[in-house]
Chain A
C-alpha cells in the first residue's frame, strides 16, 4: 500500500487537497491577523467560523444560491464578531474571557437554530445542497502537475490567495495599515494623533468576523454541502495557531496555512487508502502536529507588543 502513496497521482491528489484545506484556514487566519495586529486577541474565531458555516448553509439552502449563501455566511461572521467586539472592546471585558464566551454562545446558537429549522433531522434525513464545484482556470489548469494542484480549485481558494495579497498590501503599503500595525504595538502613539483607538479596533474585529464567516462557508458550501453541529471541528483554533506559527506576517501565514492544510489532507488520504493504522490516530494527527508546530514556533518575535491589552488613557 505504501508504494501507492509514492505514485505521483496520489501525491498530486494530496497536494490539491492540501491547497483546498489550507485556503480555508488561510481565510480565517488572515482575518485573525488583522484583528491581532490591531492589538486584540480574538479567541472566538472558531465560533465565528461555525456561525459562517451555518449561515452559509442556511442562506444557500433557502435562496438556492450558493453565492447568496456565501454572503449570508459573511453576515453571520460579522454579527458574531460584533458581539465579541461589544464584550471585549466596548465593555472592556477581558479579551480571553470574551472570546471563549462567544465560542460557547456560537456553538449553542447554531445547534439550536439548526434543530429548530430542521426538527426531523435523522441519520438518513440530513438536509443537503449541491456544493460548489471545482472551477478550473482556463489554460492554467492544463499545466501538468501544477495545474492540477493549484488551478483546479474552488473559486473560494483563488479568492483566499487574492485576499492574502490584499491584506499584505493593506498592512504595509497604506496609511491605514500603518495605523493598524501601530495600534498593536503601542496604541498610545495613535491616540495622541487624535485617532479613535476603540473604533479602529472594532472595525478590525468586524473584518476578522467576516473573514472567519467566509472561511466557514467554504466548509459547508464547497466541501460537503451539509451542516452538522461543530462542523468546523477546531479549524478556528488552528487559524489562531497559524497566525502564531506565521509570525504575524501575511506570506508566512500563507505557508503555515498550506502546511496545516497538508497535514489535514494527508490524514484524509492515508485514511482513504486504508493504511494499516488505527483511524483515531489519523484524526488526532492534525492536533498533535499543531502542538508540535506551535512548540517549535514558541520563540516567534512578531507578536504585537500590545496584543491582548486593553487600551486605557492615562
Chain B
C-alpha cells in the first residue's frame, strides 16, 4: 500500500458550531484517510448535517480547524470547497428537471469557448459512466429518471470536476435496496481509486456494509470514532441511541379501557405513489399512550396524514371509537373526537401571521359558538381565547398577537389549547416536544397524562426514545412503513427498540430484506 494512503486527507479538529442558543456541533474531532469510506453515524438532530455543511463550506464553523490535504482551509462558499476538491451530494438533489444529465453536469462549468459542444461533453461523461459501471440514458430529462439515476448525476457532477473527497448526506434514504447496492458499488470503486468518501447515515447496516471507520455523533458531540471491523450491529446501536435518562415523568397508571383508535391493515402512498405505510395495524385504548418509534421517513408522516384525513388511504380501515373514519374529511374526523398535534408547528399546525385568537379557533371556526350563520362571533372567540391563554399558560402579550412571534413552547401550547380544550377520544401527536426545552416538554407531557385520566387514548409518534420510555405504555416500532414489533413498556429496552428501528429483529436476522 502506498504510504500516501495512510495519511489523513481530512482532519476535523475541535470543530464547534451553534445557532443562537442551540449547539449543533460541540468540539468534534475525526480524521478521514485517503481512499477510505468514513461514516458519520447519528440520529436526527445529532448534528451530522451541520458538520457536513461546515466541511463543505455551506456553513462556517464557530471554532476549530479543518485541515484538508495537509493545509488548514476556511471556505466561504461551497464553490471554494469544490475548487479544492470537496464535493457533496445532498439529500435533496439540486437538478434542473426538464434537462438531461449532460446539461445538468456541464451547466456553469468553467471551460473555454462560448458555444455548447454537447456531443463532446456527452462522450466525456459517458466515459466516466463506463468507468464506474453506471448505465443510464444520458439524453433523457432528469424528471424521467429514477431517483437512483438522479443521484448518479449528482455523483457524476463531482467526478466530472474531479474531487478527492465526496460527502454523501443520507444517500440511501430515498433508494430501493437494489439501488443502494449499486450506489455502494460505485462508492467502493471511488474509494479504490483513491477518493475518500464521508457517508452520513443513521442506518447501522450501511455502516457495517461499506465503511472503514465510523464516528458516532450524539447530541452534538462526537462520542467515539471506531474501526468498522471491530464493531457489531449491537455495539453500534448502543452507541447510536445512548442510554442516558435525564429526567423521569411521574406517571400514574390509568386502567386501560375500550379501544378508541383501531387501525387495521392500513396502507398509504407517498406523494410519488410509492408505498409509505404498508399494512399497519395498531390499536390505542382509553387511558393509554401507544408510542410509535422509528427513524423519520419510515412512513410516520404519511400515517399521521392519513389518520387526520389529509391523505387518502390505499387499503385498510381506521376506526375512531365507534365511528369508521377511513378517508373522511379532516373536519368530520375532528368533530368525531380526534385531536392532532402535527410535527411542524408553524407549517401544519398554525397560521403564522394569524393572531393567537384566530389560531385558537381554527377548525372550529365555522361551528357554534364561534360562528353563527357564517358570521364570526368575536366576543365569544375573545372570551374563549382569554380563558385558553390562562388555562394553558400561553405566554403572549394578548389574543391579538401574531403566533409567529411566539416561542416554540408557546406555539405548542396554542395548538394544545385548540385541540384539547373540548372532550376528545384520541390524540395523535407527532414529535410534540421537538425543539422544546425541558420545562415546555414536561408541560406537554402533563397535558397528555391529564387526557389519559379523561379517558382519551394517545398515539405518540416520536424519534426521541427517552420520551417514549418516559410516558408511553407500549412502544411499537415502524420501519420502512411496516410495524416490526411492539413491546409493553415493562419488556422494552433501548437496545431492543434501537435494533428494530434499524430494521433488525435480532442481531443476526434482518427482518426486512435489504441485503439482496
Contact = CB atoms under 8 A, between A and B. Distances in A.
Interface of A: 172-179, 181-182, 185-186, 188-190, 192-195, 305, 314
Interface residues of B, number: 21
17 contacts: A174-B114, A174-B115, A174-B116, A175-B107, A175-B113, A177-B116, A179-B107, A181-B99, A185-B96, A185-B98, A186-B94, A188-B94, A189-B94, A189-B95, A189-B104, A190-B107, A194-B79
Given A185-B98, A188-B94, A193 B116 contact: no
B108 A182 contact: yes
Interface in B85-121: 94-99, 103-104, 106-109, 111, 113-116
Contacts of A175: 106-107, 111, 113-116
Interface of B: 58, 77-79, 94-99, 103-104, 106-109, 111, 113-116
A174 B116 CA distance: 5
Contact of B108 (A172, A173, A179, A185): A179
Among B77, B96, B98, B99, the one with the most A-chain Cβ atoms within 10 Å of its Cβ is: B96
Nearest to A187: B96
Contacts, number: 60
Contacts of B103: 178, 182
A177 B107 CA distance: 10
B97 A305 contact: yes
B158 to A, nearest CB: 11
A194 B108 contact: yes
Nearest to A306: B96
Per CB-CB distance, the 8 closest pairs between chain A and chain B, nearest first, are A193-B108, A194-B79, A185-B96, A186-B96, A182-B96, A182-B107, A195-B108, A188-B94
Contacts of B58: 314
A304 to B, nearest CB: 8
Given A192-B78, A192-B79, A194-B79, A178 B94 contact: no
A153 B324 CA distance: 73
Nearest to A188: B94
A179 B110 CA distance: 12
Contacts of A189: 94-96, 104, 107-108
Contacts of B94: 186, 188-189, 192
Nearest to A303: B98
A192 B99 CA distance: 17
Contacts of A193: 79, 107-109
Contact of A186 (B79, B97, B113, B115): B97
Nearest to A184: B96
A247 to B, nearest CB: 12
Contact of A178 (B78, B106, B113): B106
Contacts of B107: 175, 178-179, 182, 189-190, 193
Nearest to B104: A189
Contact of B116 (A178, A182, A194, A314): A178
A9 B96 CA distance: 50
Given A178-B107, A189-B95, 9 more contacts: A174-B115, A175-B115, A179-B107, A182-B108, A186-B97, A189-B108, A190-B107, A193-B107, A194-B108
Contacts of A174: 114-116
A305 B96 CA distance: 9
A177 B106 CA distance: 12
A273 to B, nearest CB: 46
Contacts of A177: 116
A192 B95 CA distance: 11
B80 to A, nearest CB: 9
B284 to A, nearest CB: 38
A154 B401 CA distance: 63
A190 B116 contact: no
A193 B79 CA distance: 6
Among B94, B98, B103, B111, the one with the most A-chain Cβ atoms within 10 Å of its Cβ is: B98
Given A192-B78, A194-B108, A173 B95 contact: no
Nearest to B83: A194
A52 to B, nearest CB: 29
A182 B99 contact: yes
Contacts of B113: 175
A123 to B, nearest CB: 53
Given A190-B107, A192-B79, A173 B96 contact: no
Nearest to A190: B108
Nearest to B113: A175
Nearest to A194: B79
Given A192-B79, A193-B108, A194-B79, A185 B99 contact: yes
Contacts of A176: 114
Contacts of A305: 97-98
A182 B98 CA distance: 9
Nearest to A178: B107
A195 B115 CA distance: 18
Contacts of A178: 103, 106-107, 116
Contact of A194 (B77, B95, B96, B115): B77
A178 B113 CA distance: 13
B136 to A, nearest CB: 19
Contacts of A188: 94
B79 A173 contact: no
A188 B108 CA distance: 11
A98 B107 CA distance: 30
Contacts of B111: 175
A95 to B, nearest CB: 20
A175 B108 CA distance: 7
A189 B101 CA distance: 13
Contacts of B116: 172-175, 177-178
A190 B78 CA distance: 12
A188 B116 CA distance: 21
A186 B99 CA distance: 10
A203 to B, nearest CB: 15
A195 B72 CA distance: 26
A172 B100 CA distance: 13
Contacts of B78: 192
Contacts of A172: 116
A189 B157 CA distance: 11
